Structure 1
Amino acid sequence: MKNQRRTVSAATLTVLTIITAGALPSPAQAAGTTLTINAGTSIRPVTHVAAGGLYALAEGSKPADSTLLPLKLNTLTQPAPGVGQKPNGQPPGGDALLVAPQADRVGAAEIIRMPDIYPDFPYGWVSWDDWLAKVDTMVRARLAATTVSNVQAWELWNEPDWTWNTSAAGTWNAGWVRTFQKVRSLDTVTPIAGPGYSAWNQSWMSSFLTYAKANNAVPDVMVWHELSGPSGIAAHVAAYRALETSLGITARPIVINEYAMTTEVDVPGSVTSYIAKLERAGVQTAQRAFWYEYGTVNGLTVNNQPTGTWWPYKWYGDMAGNMVQTVPATQTGLDGFASYDGTRKIVNAVVGNESGTNSVRVTGLAGLGTQVSVTLESAPSSGRFTAVAAPTAISTATYPVSGGAITVPVSNMDAGRAYHLVVQPTSGVPAYQQRYEAENASVFRAGRFSSTSASNGGYVGQIDNTGDSRNSSYVDFVVNVPTARSYTMTIGYANATGATSTQGLAYNGSAWSTISYPATAAWGTFGSTVSTTLTLKAGYNTIRLAKGAPYFAGGTGYAELDYIQLT
């Protein structure tokens, strides 16, 4: 989605009306509502689902790694190799292969948007010979980039519901199949994402999937946009799942690869509502829509400094353990998302999208003691050009726990602000996070699983090495330590091969070393550990454990990862 949309022809206005209807944020004006956070009810491991963006990065490490690492970015959509797209009159930039090393340093995956090879938006179709030649060039460029390992998928087209030139190129469904077949003839490994509609539309999706299935061209990753407010996200995801089932299509990961309109994307309260609903809907990832300058994560940074909207994403990045259930009183007012880190016994919540005096009720706190410490701060709606060096402190107070619950009033809320609520034992918590769960990490082409014996109940398995950087497995941990020094890293693992297995270890661009995992009793049964020593810098560091990755010859045998701990 780009601002050029405002200059499109009248022929597209019907679609635009559908997309933009109800796009203005409309938080409820009546005060006195309550958001309930059930800290004892986990909904999924923390994976920072909605921490991503379209055209988030530009060449030359823009924005700086220091602004990105705290956000724990999940997935980005970047333009195709040899990008021609000139977003909002800017020079072409953000080439997926050129920015891949920076995305890799901060633990982020990339989806490559292929039609951005064109300079215009809407895309200026030339001919099928021209398009297929462009596809050939893009795919071959990716295949030649053998050290790029963080590409999640090819996105074949963007917003075909209004940018596909039916009169010149034929029907979209047929065009999808033809392009799908071309990509697959060159690259049989990388997943393919689609259809990329600009809005959820049941009839469009049904027609597309029916045709794609009949022609063996169903996307590996389902993508569409949510730009007309967040309240319909859950219903749209449910409708897609029902459609998938009715057509006999196996479940695909869902990526909402653009969310939030111009009136929402730079408003902390509004994006808080989007993130909350995306987390509850169960999508795999979601990405902030692009409207202005690329290379800023769409307004989260200005001159390598955080804006007001950066802060709720930073608080999101601080979350660990499991995302927990949040229950808003309505779908259009006060909402939020929250996590519970069972190791440190911290409830971390971000709420907003409401004005006046409201309340946050937190249940499931019996394990934190008879009273808890509650810290509250907020981030303003500063826009994309005003740096905000720190959030605004509101209060720190002690609350008695009654029936495992507390109720925290939040006075004089501003609907544009986001509010950060941290609940922890009054006895205190460790000064820094020491244990990092594998299921919370950036997981590339491996699986997240559950086990009662695993720390926090989850682990990562199916970590394999194919000898191909496009689909070998590794896990990246973005860690934050207080001082530059040596740390002992303990790894919880399982290895039921009957023999010692190995993986590669690298961090902050270091040379690879080998981690050996002696055999254990069974898969999915944890308690065994191995340890090594790392020399880390103060602040954020990225630690990779790999079965296969660029510059690493590959591990032996198999091992499942439970956690790492730094002491």
Structure 2
Amino acid sequence: MPKKAAPRRRPLLFVVLVLIAGLFAVIRPAGPAAAAVDGMTVDMSTYGGTPTYRASGFIYGLSQNGTTPAQSLQSQIKVTELRAGGSQIGCPNGGYVNGAYTARWTTEKAYYARAKALGAHFEMILAGLWGADGVCTVPRWPGNGGSWTEYNAFFDQVVADVKAAGMTGSDVRWDLWNEPNIFFWGATQAQYLEMVKRGTQRIRAALPNAVIEGPSCACNPTDAWFTTYLDYVKANNVVPNILSWHALPGDPAVDAANARTALSTRGLTVSGLDVNEYGAYGAEQQPGPSAWYIARLERGNVDGARANWGMVGQTPSLYDTMGWLVTAGANQPMGQWWVYRRYAEQTGQRTRITPGASDAHDGTVFQNSSTHTTIGVYGATPSAATGSVGVTYANIPSWQQTNSTVHVKVERMPSTNAAVSAPTVVSDARVSVTGNAVTVNLDWTNNLDAYVVTLTA
């Protein structure tokens, strides 16, 4: 049997060149990327506004006693918003309307304690406390038969408990009902609107400085249901402090513009906008779409809370995973958690970014001249084109460069329903800057993945 030829040794210089080529594979000087399916442009000369981490919120996602997942998993992503109402507890006969209010109120207090520890605000969903959560039996709705006696007693109970628990500050938002335009409300819109009027008046009489949020509908600001709501709250002087709706799916940037137009044409003002559920079940809660939603919320200057699709008896449950950011039970970070981690690490000034075609690829970029660091978090819609996507950084300031070079680190947050110990480092290299610009080409073969690009001097 003939011997195998001995392997030929490569010259050391050849090996070094190959390694360098690999590091530079996804980073090129500014210019059109070959066969790029899309592109984004970051103009580093246009910036303003410090981080608020407005997209770092979720509905439910903690245990009923508020102790798990560990607080560190929320503090590391700078959670700004928790939202809950005790839904599904005691089903099929839970909540006030079924004589089972106490267990749900206990959970409300636990969630508020966690929100307070995080420095986040807490949104208290009264629909959940009543018992209207989409899966429990609801024998009566507020105002049935023209009687508001039970609803008034319910309100008196909640107000008394809020005062006793010290939940009277601006860090609590009163969310009168969840998704009242669908099955979470079982009566007419007219009856719902009467409930809004009565509830708002009772809150403001008991707690004049309370923050009220609504309508939290499964709709967008151009829907007839939504415009009817706006006309009613204006006519009855019960405009909420925060205007809210859901994006399941949706585009928060587009919806925010429409909401501001709807308010302006009616001569109404609110103190803020909140997409207090975003991210449809499945693909939209993976890293790429998560980063895209963050970008669209930032672009629209809208607060946001991730939706939660846990159901009774299912794994994961409603009281787990932080809106599918961590694994069920074990509570280990997944790829999408790392998207929020890098988002939380952004500091300095928000920087202008032009999104890709049809807004299918978008990102959030902050530059910090003090640390000589720029972090960009990039995402895509589930239907976005896959392939090479070029991110061009234009007008790179001198503080971001060293001898006309910049260090570029590219990380990929993989789409997987399993634990991810850390993002995948795609490249980490120093590159030349030409004309104060550089293009980072992302090999975006799976649009459910997200990418983070970090520039350092």
Residue 198 (structure 1) aligns with: 218
Asked whether the equivalents of residues 87 and 133 of structure 2 are also in contact (C-alpha less than 8 Å), the reply is no
Asked whether the equivalents of residues 195 and 223 of structure 1 are also in contact (C-alpha less than 8 Å), the reply is yes
- Could you tell me how far apart the structure 2 residues matched to 1:89 and 1:164 are? 16
1:397: Cα distance to partner?
Answer: 1.3
Instruction: Give the unaligned 5+ runs of structure 2.
Output: 1-34, 95-102, 311-316
Q: Which amino acid aligns with 1:45?
A: T
Q: In the alignment, does 2:75 pair up with 1:69?
A: yes
The secondary structure found in structure 1 opposite 2:157 is helix
The secondary structure found in structure 2 opposite 1:71 is coil
The structure 2 residue matched to 1:118, chosen from 126, 130, 142, is 130
Change (3 A) 1:314 1:295: same
1:158: Cα distance to partner?
Answer: 1.0
Q: In the alignment, does 2:161 pair up with 1:141?
A: yes
Residue 60 (structure 2) aligns with: 55
1:120: Cα distance to partner?
Answer: 4.6
1:287: Cα distance to partner?
Answer: 0.5
Residue 173 (structure 1) aligns with: 193
- Please give the residue correspondences for 1:437-448 in structure 2 after superposition, counting only pairs within 5 Å: none
The structure 2 residue matched to 1:365, chosen from 388, 392, 396, is 396
Residue 391 (structure 1) aligns with: 423
Cα deviation, 1:238-297, whole Å, max 9, x if unaligned, reads 2211221121112430011000100234310111111111111121x1010111232421
Asked whether the equivalents of residues 291 and 450 of structure 2 are also in contact (C-alpha less than 8 Å), the reply is yes
Moved more, 117-126 or 253-262: 117-126
- Could you tell me how far apart the structure 1 residues matched to 2:198 and 2:239 are? 12
- Could you tell me how far apart the structure 2 residues matched to 1:45 and 1:161 are? 36
Change (3 A) 1:60 1:164: closer
Moved more, 411-420 or 343-352: 411-420
Asked whether the equivalents of residues 212 and 241 of structure 2 are also in contact (C-alpha less than 8 Å), the reply is yes
Residue 331 (structure 1) aligns with: 358
Asked whether the equivalents of residues 241 and 251 of structure 1 are also in contact (C-alpha less than 8 Å), the reply is no
Moved over 6 A (4+): 87-94
Q: In the alignment, does 2:222 pair up with 1:222?
A: no
The secondary structure found in structure 1 opposite 2:53 is coil
Asked whether the equivalents of residues 86 and 120 of structure 1 are also in contact (C-alpha less than 8 Å), the reply is no
The structure 1 residue matched to 2:40, chosen from 9, 18, 35, is 35
Q: Which amino acid aligns with 2:292?
A: S
1:131: Cα distance to partner?
Answer: 2.5
Asked whether the equivalents of residues 259 and 288 of structure 1 are also in contact (C-alpha less than 8 Å), the reply is yes
Q: Which amino acid aligns with 1:194?
A: G
- Could you tell me how far apart the structure 1 residues matched to 2:68 and 2:234 are? 40
The secondary structure found in structure 2 opposite 1:326 is strand
Q: Which amino acid aligns with 1:220?
A: N
1:336: Cα distance to partner?
Answer: 1.5
Asked whether the equivalents of residues 97 and 148 of structure 1 are also in contact (C-alpha less than 8 Å), the reply is no
Structure with higher Rg: it is 2
The structure 2 residue matched to 1:208, chosen from 210, 223, 229, is 229
Q: Which amino acid aligns with 2:186?
A: N
The structure 1 residue matched to 2:326, chosen from 291, 296, 301, is 301
Please report the TM-score for the alignment, with normalisation by the length of structure 1: 0.64
Cα deviation, 1:491-513, whole Å, max 9, x if unaligned, reads xxxxxxxxxxxxxxxxxxxxxxx
Asked whether the equivalents of residues 295 and 363 of structure 2 are also in contact (C-alpha less than 8 Å), the reply is yes
1:418: Cα distance to partner?
Answer: 0.8
- Could you tell me how far apart the structure 2 residues matched to 1:254 and 1:173 are? 20
Residue 115 (structure 2) aligns with: 103
- Please give the residue correspondences for 1:242-391 in structure 2 after superposition, counting only pairs within 5 Å: 242-283=261-302, 285-292=303-310, 293=317, 294-302=319-327, 303-353=330-380, 355-367=386-398, 368-369=400-401, 370-383=404-417, 386-391=418-423
Asked whether the equivalents of residues 100 and 150 of structure 1 are also in contact (C-alpha less than 8 Å), the reply is no
1:152: Cα distance to partner?
Answer: 3.3
Change (3 A) 1:235 1:266: closer
1:155: Cα distance to partner?
Answer: 0.4
Cα deviation, 1:319-378, whole Å, max 9, x if unaligned, reads 111221221222353222111112112110111325222211112312222110000111
Residues paired across the two proteins, number: 387
Residue 414 (structure 1) aligns with: 446
The secondary structure found in structure 2 opposite 1:95 is helix
Asked whether the equivalents of residues 54 and 77 of structure 1 are also in contact (C-alpha less than 8 Å), the reply is yes
Please report the TM-score for the alignment, with normalisation by the length of structure 2: 0.79
The secondary structure found in structure 2 opposite 1:415 is coil
Q: Which has the higher helix share?
A: 2
Asked whether the equivalents of residues 84 and 123 of structure 2 are also in contact (C-alpha less than 8 Å), the reply is yes
Q: Which amino acid aligns with 1:323?
A: R
1:182: Cα distance to partner?
Answer: 2.1
1:84: Cα distance to partner?
Answer: 5.5
- Could you tell me how far apart the structure 2 residues matched to 1:265 and 1:412 are? 16
Change (3 A) 1:257 1:372: same
1:424: Cα distance to partner?
Answer: 0.9
Query: RMSD of the TM alignment (CA)?
Result: 2.4
Change (3 A) 1:156 1:362: same
1:176: Cα distance to partner?
Answer: 1.1
- Could you tell me how far apart the structure 2 residues matched to 1:99 and 1:187 are? 21
Cα deviation, 1:76-101, whole Å, max 9, x if unaligned, reads 2121xxx3534998997682322222
Cα deviation, 1:425-478, whole Å, max 9, x if unaligned, reads 0xxxxxxxxxxxxxxxxxxxxxxxxxxxxxxxxxxxxxxxxxxxxxxxxxxxxx
Change (3 A) 1:42 1:332: closer
Identity of aligned residues (%): 28
Q: Which amino acid aligns with 1:268?
A: P
Cα deviation, 1:44-92, whole Å, max 9, x if unaligned, reads 321111110011333242110121111011112121xxx3534998997
1:401: Cα distance to partner?
Answer: 1.6
Change (3 A) 1:158 1:120: closer
Asked whether the equivalents of residues 104 and 150 of structure 1 are also in contact (C-alpha less than 8 Å), the reply is no
Asked whether the equivalents of residues 44 and 397 of structure 2 are also in contact (C-alpha less than 8 Å), the reply is no
Cα deviation, 1:406-428, whole Å, max 9, x if unaligned, reads 10112253211111110010xxx
Moved more, 143-152 or 397-406: 143-152
- Could you tell me how far apart the structure 1 residues matched to 2:90 and 2:396 are? 48
Q: Which amino acid aligns with 2:228?
A: S
